[in-house]
């Protein structure tokens, strides 16, 4: 992967999706400018990764389902866009190690705590993996809410919240499940606030 290709792809996708879905980005000034960031968002569409990718101010490395890495052409494209494979529904130790390394190197790790898309738009329970990353590193944990339907010319909001203070949970050695629920609560609040707006 080269930053040039990522920037090139981002520019093209942004030029297509932003006017099509009238994307509004909110709270971007709260996004940490440096250091490891665990970016946690709700998941309502296959378009969520590119939409977050074009609105976030820094390159993102996403965990992507391993099925995408089986076709050579798709594998090359997905890898060039920072993604790395994860086995869904399993304790994928290699993916966990890779994710930890991404955060420790001061990069942005994008993750959908629910693990899969919500077909009705309602938040599902978070998997413990997001809590594992939040507790095992000092990375900033940034909640993100994607609000609105993916319908052409109907405004879609991407809302970035302030980094979540995970220090109390880290200090008392909270479980990954508890940390995951805590993060999802913050995403839920963002959703509720901006669904009403």
Average pLDDT over residues 12-24: 95
CA-to-CA dists, residue 20 to 98, 147, 148, angstroms = 34, 15, 13
Residue 82's pLDDT is what?
A: 73
For residue range 128-161, what is the model confidence (pLDDT) as tens digits? 999 999 999 999 999 999 999 999 999 999 999 9
Provide the CATH number for the domain around residue 129: 3.40.1130.10
**Higher confidence at residue 56 or residue 195?**
56
* Cβ proximity of 60 and 52 under 8 Å: yes
- Spatial separation of the C-alpha atoms in residues 119 and 155, rounded to whole Å: 19
- Spatial separation of the C-alpha atoms in residues 47 and 4, rounded to whole Å: 22
pLDDT tier for residue 2 given thresholds of 50, 70 and 90: very low
Domains: count for the chain: 1
Average pLDDT over residues 51-72: 84
Residue 74's pLDDT is what?
A: 62
**Residue 77 burial (C-beta neighbours within 10 Å; 0-12, 13-18, 19+):** middle
* Cβ proximity of 110 and 42 under 8 Å: no
Enclosing domain of residue 112: 3-194
pLDDT tier for residue 110 given thresholds of 50, 70 and 90: very high
**Higher confidence at residue 98 or residue 72?**
98
């Amino acid at each position: 992967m080269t930053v040039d290709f990522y920037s090139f792809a981002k520019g093209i996708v942004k030029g297509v999706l932003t006017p099509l879905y009238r994307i509004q980005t909110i709270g971007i000034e709260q996004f940490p400018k440096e250091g490891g960031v665990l970016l946690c968002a709700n998941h309502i569409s296959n378009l969520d990764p590119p939409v977050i990718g074009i609105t976030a101010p820094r390159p993102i490395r996403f965990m992507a389902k391993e099925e995408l890495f089986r076709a050579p052409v798709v594998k090359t494209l997905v890898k060039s866009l920072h993604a790395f494979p994860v086995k869904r529904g399993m304790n994928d130790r290699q993916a966990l190690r890779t994710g930890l390394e991404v955060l420790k190197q001061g990069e942005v790790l994008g993750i959908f705590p629910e693990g899969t898309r919500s077909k009705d738009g309602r938040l599902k329970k978070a998997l413990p993996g997001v809590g594992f990353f939040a507790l095992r590193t000092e990375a900033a944990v940034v909640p993100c809410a994607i609000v609105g339907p993916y319908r052409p010319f109907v405004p879609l909001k991407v809302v970035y919240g302030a980094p979540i203070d995970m220090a109390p949970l880290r200090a008392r050695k909270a479980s990954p499940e508890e940390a995951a629920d805590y993060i999802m609560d913050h995403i839920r609040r963002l959703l509720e606030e901006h669904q009403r707006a």
